[in-house]
Amino acid sequence: MKLIYTDCLVVGAGLAGLRVAIAAKERGHDTLVLSLIPAKRSHSAAAQGGMQASLGNTVKGLGDNEDVHFQDTVKGSDWGCDQTVARMFAHCAPKAVREMSHWGVPWTRVTKGPREVVVNAERITINEAEAAHGLINARDFGGTKKWRTCYTADGTGHSLLYAVDNKAISMGIPVHERVEALHIIHDGERCHGVVARCLITGELRAYIAKATTIATGGYGRIYEVSTNAIICEGIGQALALDTGVATLGNMEAVQFHPTAIVPVGILTTEGCRGDGGLLRDKDGYRFMPDYEPEKKELASRDVVSRRMTEHMRKGKGVDSPYGPHLWLDITLLGRKHIETNLREVKEICENFLGIDPAKDWIPVRPTQHYSMGGIRTTPTGESPQLKGMFAVGEAACWDMHGFNRLGGNSLAETVVGGMIIGKYVADFCDNNDLVLDTGLAQGFVDKARAEIDALIDGEGRENAWQLKAAMQKVMMDYVGIFRNGPELDEAVRQLKSLLERAANLGVTCKKRHANPELVEALRVRRMLKVALTVACGAAARTESRGAHAREDFPQRNDKDWLCRTLASWPDPKALEPRLSYEPLDVMQMELPPGYRGYGADNAIAHPDTARREAEIADILAKLGDNASREARQQALMPFELPESLRPANERLSDRLHGGVSGKTQLTNDNAPASNTAGDDNS
């Protein structure tokens, strides 16, 4: 048995994984990263639009702070998130943006003086402050009160990934490329590493570590059409399920992005609409204001995707050989803006559609984009069931997104979550010994070898690609934007049948080294189990919340469903997961459930909501009007962070006014931000 040991093992070399690796290495721990591909090719690179952080440098971001970012995030999640985690995140996001600047990210900067922008289809002039010149800029994104999304043109993920990987290279952190994890090595209580297969030589290796961090991204590719890279197949979630003890959280929470191009499903960034782009129907009519008069094209992603689908169901879609679509119109932004701030979008339009987006409208349709669900963790990023197993980024359900993620909050989660959880991983490595149980490791290596032997030498005749295509079609047809009981039941039935068939998988290519068919066969079984956690979770959740929209249960039901779905797979032979639920405690919330601001306010209230609101009013009254916003926040919902991340974030407004808290505000012609936690449910 090939045995490799380290202190900190990270599976996945995207932004979140690399950031954790750097945090552990900074503290002197031996650190090793595994990746299917070269680190810089990770799907993080595809994030275009930007990352949210409440810097408040641009005039359209004045008055922004952690409180406003927190509130936007909680509302965006449809109150499904862990508010403590959302707080940790909002507090550290400005730190991460600034750290990334120190590591080389060329953030787009504010230019002082007048600047023309497009807001609500009109060209208006905003005037940037002299003092803001050269500070980090931000653009508008959906579901946010302020312009908060920091960016480098429309290649933000690329710039971040390159800066972070360069940092990892400078620290000498090894990345074992073209290696795929097949099992987590564990004893039912503690995680000890992974068994992985080299995709070039086929060698099986046991990687033993004090702490193992899963940072393998989302599971978008269980769907037929997805904006995700083809490697986003949910294998990290499957590894956790395979342990039989670890849980996945809210797997049914799947986001559909409003504007992927038709038919190939490649993303055009939300920045297109943030910068002023419009959605139009087959008559060229701008329809979003009819549905969402206030936020229009910049409502939350789940809302825009549903409204687009509704509009197409009314026959207003543009017919194409690939089904109906709508138009994204960015022509009004002008060629110069497109060729500087939206140039990746322009390249995609030219190469895949043969159109010029400065002249032509872009054919778009809502498409699977993001996995809010993932490996359930505590706020420190650790699995509640398996000590020493951490998860971070899209792979995790840390749970800052609940049932809908805001645009710009996932790229932010990778580096912010990585920064925070990396410190907890380093703590874990400080406080725990490496447990080298070669017998345990050998058992998992044998298990992997037996599976490979059976696929190559066995009698199985099922084809991996066919099973995968069938699964992807089931997910597209029955577990999409709008869901209902009968279709979800059908999805579960068909997926179970596919999982049964997957027991008879075989490969025709008999090579034990580089063998694409073997890789596919190993993955498809794992993917089917992940797909079943999504479909079963969706079938069981008889309410609508965020991206989970049930036609037969259209109301958000806080009374019965203010809880997180947990899925595990204790019996490997079973055909479906075990579901359980973790309640969200209203009495601990800083922002009790309220109206999100879209459509009818028809949520079924939780009995504690009114009690908690009264309690909050009481706490705030006792503090008096002179309490700082930080003191008010701490009184409502104290949260922990590693000590080095606790200091307050300085803003331009603090320097100009000499103040230290966000109570000081520059005057501007925007509506003032809500500055007080918990008072704003509009």
Partner 1 sequence: MSGRILTFNIFRYDPQEPGDKPKMVQYQLAETSGMTVFIALNRLRQEQDPSLQFDFVCRAGICGSCAMVINGFPTLACRTLTAKYPKGEITLMPLPGFELIGDLSVNTGKFMRELAERLQLWLHPKGGDMDIHRLEDPMAPEEAAKLYELERCVECGVCVSACATKQMRDTFVGAVGMMKIARFELDSRDGRSADDFYHVIGNQDGVFGCMTLLGCQDNCPKDLPHMQQIAYLRRKMASTLL
Catalytic residue numbers read: 257, 273
Closest approach of Cβ 43 to partner 1, in Å?
7
Q: Are 212 and 389 in contact (CB under 8 A)?
A: yes
Q: Which range binds partner 1 by CB under 8 A, 225-233, 275-283, 359-367, 590-598?
A: 225-233
Q: Going residue by residue from 232 to 261, which x/- string records binding to partner 1, judged by CB under 8 A?
A: ------------------------------
Phi-psi label, residue 555: left if phi above 0, alpha if psi -120 to 50, beta otherwise? beta
Per-residue interface string for the shown chain with partner 1, residues 93-122, x marking contact by CB under 8 A: --xxxxx-xxxx-xxxxxx-----------
> Which residue type sits at 363?
P
DSSP 626-665: TS-HHHHHHHH------GGG-SPPP-HHHHHH--SSTT--
Q: Angle at Cα 582 formed by Cα 581 and Cα 587, nearest 5°?
A: 140
103: left (phi > 0), else alpha (psi -120 to 50), else beta?
alpha
CB of 536 to partner 1, least distance (A): 28
How is residue 424 written in tokens?
């907890």
Q: How far is the CB of 132 from partner 1 (least distance, A)?
A: 9
| 344-352, 440-448, 552-560, 615-623 -> range binding partner 1 (CB under 8 A) | 344-352
Q: Which residues, numbered 390-429, are part of the site for partner 1 (CB under 8 A)?
A: none
Closest separation in Å from C-beta 178 to partner 1: 8
Give dist(CA 87, CA 85) in Å, integer: 5
On whether the CB atoms of residues 612 and 599 are closer than 8 A, the answer is no
Which of 61, 63, 155, 324 is in the footprint of partner 1 by CB under 8 A? 155
DSSP 319-341: P-TT--BEEEE-GGG-HHHHHHH
Which residues, 32 to 71, sit near partner 1 by CB under 8 A? 37-43, 45-46
By CB under 8 A, tell whether 470 contacts partner 1. no
Window of 163-171, 300-308, 470-478, 552-560 that interacts with partner 1 by CB under 8 A? 163-171
Scan residues 309-328 and list those touching partner 1 (CB under 8 A): 321
Q: Is 362 helix (H, G, I), strand (E, B) or coil?
A: strand
Pairing verdict, β 482-483 and 191-198: unpaired
Letters for 358-397 (x = contact with partner 1 by CB under 8 A, - = none) are ----------------------------------------
Sign of CA dihedral 413, 372, 151, 629: negative
Positive or negative torsion for Cα 557, 533, 520, 499:
negative
Contact track, partner 1, 192-221, x by CB under 8 A: --------xx--------------------
Nearest approach, Cβ of residue 351 and partner 1 (Å) = 4
Interface with partner 1: number of residues (CB under 8 A)? 77
Comparison of 296 and 325: residue with beta carbon closer to partner 1 = 325
Interface with partner 1 (CB under 8 A), residue from 20, 32, 348, 603: 348
Residues 494-533 that bind partner 1 (CB under 8 A): 507-509, 511, 513-517
Selected from 77, 566, 649, 673, the binder of partner 1 by CB under 8 A is 649
Strands (E), 215-284: 248-249, 254-261, 278-280
For residue 634, the tally of other CB atoms under 10 A from its CB is: 14
